[in-house]
Structure 1
Amino acid sequence: MALIRINAQGETPVMHGSPHPVASILKQTQSTDGPVIVMTHGYKFAPNQGSNCPHRDILSLQPEGGTGIASQWPYQLGFGQGNQAEGLAIAFGWDARCALWQAHRRAKLAGKALAKVLSRVHQQSPQRPIHILTHSMGVEVILESLLHVPPGAVDRIISMTGATYQGRLIAALTSPSGRQAEFINITSRENDIFDFLYERMVAPAVPGDRVIGHGVNLRNVLTLQLDCPKTLKQIARLGQIIAPPQRRICHWSTYMRPGTMPFYQDLLRNREKLTLDLLRSGLPEAPAPRWSRLFARPTVVRPLFLTQKPS
């Protein structure tokens, strides 16, 4: 059982496409070796809504249609490949197909549902690592769940262009469970327009707060700006090659760009080797400012004269 699919119905977790109780299915996974990796989507996906169902798209082992931009997260994180100790993949869906402000509210309910799943898995196997991968507004689900799970239930979180405010993240990561978790904040200036729109459509709890695309100053948070050449060089030194960005604006680049998902697999399956301190060494002190990519001058490739060599 490499992958189980769970959805949030309000604050209650239910199996996707199955009448069986979540607790009974989770109990059957106790004997599997390897980490637990939970994956949840962001805005505009919703379970059981045709091509917008995440379980047919990014949360599937094999594509079943979907949006046409799918990158099957479970497979690319090492599941369904017949390897020993693959672990357990949990694909967690929630209804984010609504107005943005409604999705923001639903994410909190879904976070409470996810917390029940995480708590159950942790209770069954306290020594088993539980990691999380999420995109966009899915980070709101994860941060809410941290407020309702026991300390030590969550180990490492990867947030790809997360849609949330710095204050919200700090509150979650300074909670009893949050202090024991590591948060890798994957950003890109390709996402600036989406951060800008989020700030205008979802009011922060504290006026003047900024989204996490600007970085967060906490000991257990590491920000990796994936359109920064210096960051890509540091990742390459650690053994993973990520293709440089090709667009000025893109919301999906942080998982669609070649090399990103193998890097995340390494981060989640080799946490002891790829520590935050090791990853942090050689990185820029702060992310590039907003709009720096959108208004940057285009790179001009000058033609070589006939007498010149390429290098």
Structure 2
Amino acid sequence: MAMISVNVTGQDWASAAPLAPALHALPPRAAVTVMIHGYRYSPRDPANDPHRHILSPRGGSARWKSVSWPRHLRLDRTEAALGISLGWHARGHLQGAARRAFDAGDALADLLCAIKAARPDIHVNLIGHSLGARVALAAMAGLPAAHVDRVILLSGAEYRSLALAAMASPAGRTAQVLNVTSGENLIFDCGFRLAVPAPHPRDWPIAAGLHQVPGWTDLRIDCPDNRAALDRIGLGIRPPRVRICHWSSYLRPGLFRLYRRVCDPSQPDILPRLADALPRPERSRATRGPVPRLSPL
């Protein structure tokens, strides 16, 4: 099993095991996948430690929707990839956790620079849920080109203007992003917009989509046409069973098969193939209003 736990304190990171030997043990052009939890987890609190729940190879309490990301990404099976579970303090008031996500993003950027300095050939994936999407995008915004290969955002709690800024960065211009959304998350998107002020009055969460941005693919998993597109490329998923769910972007059966393909360096065309198969993007109902035209900051 190739797994390392990393925790963020402020803007610094520390790994539970030496990182350099794990990196040097990887074969050429192998993958490193960094998994980033969202709100209500914290490595400071044993009862809510993400390394004991979704970021554990064993998973944790069903109360926490603790499907094991490492197990479903098969990072517990292969020596050809390295999984890094990134823990950060995401408890307390939502506004405070949202601010700390930017610091966690700075720490993640430093971690990725260390990875690339040790192994420039490494393929780097990021996968983050909810506020973990803010952490991933904040890290990408401050990185040089080719430091991030693919990013998977799951029900991301972030605004379009900040995502555009990340995509306009050197790292963003060389990365491919899969933005997984669903109408099941609408109430949480609205709650995020109410609790965490937007940078601009007419800004919207990334559930509204950024389909016009090169390298960015929006996938709304509750849309029948999108599920049909996944079927056509052999990556079908089940339809939704509930109306409200913040965790459907990783609980829905079939999705991790897609995520494994996205994280696989031997599948360089998976996201372009998916984008070609999807129907023409339309305005997301999750916005409940007009989507503004935003230019990269």
- The TM-score normalised by the length of structure 2 is 0.90
The 3 A distance-change label for structure 1 pair 110 and 54 is: same
For the Cα contact (< 8 Å) 1:190–1:247, is it kept in 2? yes
Q: What is the SS of the residue equivalent to 1:281?
A: helix
Q: What residue is the counterpart of 2:43 in the other structure?
A: 47
What is the 5 A alignment of 1:92-103?
A: 92-103=86-97
Amino acid at match of 2:8: A
Unaligned 5+ segments in structure 1 are 294-311
Does residue 5 (structure 1) correspond to residue 11 (structure 2)? The answer is no
Q: Aligned to 2:117, which of 108, 117, 123?
A: 123
For the Cα contact (< 8 Å) 2:143–2:169, is it kept in 1? no
Q: What residue is the counterpart of 1:203 in the other structure?
A: 197
Number of equivalences: 285
Unaligned 5+ segments in structure 2 are 289-297
- By how many angstroms is 1:177 displaced? 1.3
Q: What residue is the counterpart of 2:70 in the other structure?
A: 74
- By how many angstroms is 1:154 displaced? 0.3
Q: What residue is the counterpart of 1:255 in the other structure?
A: 250
Q: Between Structure 1 and Structure 2, whose CA radius of gyration is higher?
A: 1
Q: What is the SS of the residue equivalent to 1:89?
A: strand
- Alpha-carbon distance between aligned partners in 1 of 2:283 and 2:35, rounded to the nearest angstrom: 28
The structure in which a higher percent of residues are helix is 2
The 3 A distance-change label for structure 1 pair 145 and 139 is: same
Q: What is the SS of the residue equivalent to 1:150?
A: coil
Which stretch shows the higher mean deviation, 245-254 or 267-276? Answer: 267-276
- By how many angstroms is 1:68 displaced? 4.3
Q: Kindly report the root-mean-square deviation, in angstroms, between the aligned alpha carbons of the 2 structures.
A: 1.9
Q: What is the SS of the residue equivalent to 2:7?
A: strand
Q: What residue is the counterpart of 2:207 in the other structure?
A: 213
What is the 5 A alignment of 1:24-35?
A: 24-33=18-27, 34-35=30-31
For the Cα contact (< 8 Å) 1:139–1:162, is it kept in 2? yes
Q: What residue is the counterpart of 2:263 in the other structure?
A: 268
Structure 1 residues 54-87: Cα deviation after superposition (integer angstroms, max 9, x where no partner): 1001101013447442110011111112x452x1
- The TM-score normalised by the length of structure 1 is 0.86
Q: What residue is the counterpart of 2:272 in the other structure?
A: 277
Q: What is the SS of the residue equivalent to 1:162?
A: coil
For the Cα contact (< 8 Å) 1:50–1:66, is it kept in 2? no
- Alpha-carbon distance between aligned partners in 2 of 1:287 and 1:97, rounded to the nearest angstrom: 35
Identity among equivalent positions (%) equals: 35
